[in-house]
Amino acid sequence: MTHDRRKPSRQDSNFRISNRANRSMSSGGVIVDLHRNSTNWAKVVDDIVKLERKIFPKHESLARSFDEELGKKNTGLIYMDVDGEVVGYAMYSWPSSMYACVTKLAVKENCRRQGHGEALLKAAIQKCRTRNVHRISLHVDPLRSPAISLYKKFGFQVDNLIEGYYSSDRNAYRMYLDFDAD
């Protein structure tokens, strides 16, 4: 199967996220919700753990605790499937009705700059919004400039710098996106 690799625009009909069957087309791939009862649960988690190990240094990685993280209450995971391959993923949680967090976002290195990160973030935000939260927050290493650009593109603002967040010498920006009360 061939894919249209051009970057999706917000006007593209296939860039809109629909909850139909928990799958949505975007950026030449399909965004899928991972559920415990998904038949491919073990394979997808395995693929994500492999990506997590490649992409993140130990202090930022959830590789060793991914299954545990996913088992936490009020946590969701979506992934981007391109021809049966997991090329990116986003994890989010809603600890209370007040706010939600994007706890992970990553795209496989050779699949970047094709709109997958943007599509995953957009879908994760939509998932959080269905919980009627007024704020989404996240932490990101200030050295991760592509991620920071992406978050700013969606309107996230830097709240503050948290020194020693990841490890003694790795800080994090806390960023947030607020929604107006309807």
Ligand X SMILES: CC(C)(COP(=O)(O)OP(=O)(O)OC[C@H]1O[C@@H](n2cnc3c(N)ncnc32)[C@H](O)[C@@H]1OP(=O)(O)O)[C@@H](O)C(=O)NCCC(=O)NCCS
Closest CA to 177 of 124, 132, 125, 141: 125
Residue with nearest beta carbon to ligand X: 117
Rounded to 5 degrees, what are φ and ψ at 150?
-65, -45
Q: Is 93 in the site for ligand X (CB under 6 A)?
A: no
Q: How far apart are CA 28 and CA 57, in angstroms?
A: 29
Q: How far apart are CA 25 and CA 60, in angstroms?
A: 29
Q: Is 113 in the site for ligand X (CB under 6 A)?
A: yes
Smallest distance, ligand X to C-beta of residue 32, A: 16
Q: Please tell me what DSSP assigns to residue 7.
A: P
Q: How far apart are CA 104 and CA 101, in angstroms?
A: 9
Q: How far apart are CA 168 and CA 182, in angstroms?
A: 41
Beta-bridged to residue 167, according to DSSP, are 170
Q: Is 49 in the site for ligand X (CB under 6 A)?
A: no
Q: Is 29 in the site for ligand X (CB under 6 A)?
A: no
Q: Is 87 in the site for ligand X (CB under 6 A)?
A: no
Q: How far apart are CA 28 and CA 54, in angstroms?
A: 23
Q: Is 107 in the site for ligand X (CB under 6 A)?
A: yes
Q: Which of 115, 125, 133, 173 binds ligand X (CB under 6 A)?
A: 115
Q: What mask of x and - would describe binding to ligand X in positions 132 to 151, judged by CB under 6 A?
A: --------x---xxxx-xx-
Cβ distance to ligand X smaller for residue 100 or 140: 140
Q: Is 153 in the site for ligand X (CB under 6 A)?
A: yes
Q: Is 5 in the site for ligand X (CB under 6 A)?
A: no
Q: Which residues bind ligand X (CB under 6 A)?
A: 55, 104-107, 112-118, 140, 144-147, 149-150, 153
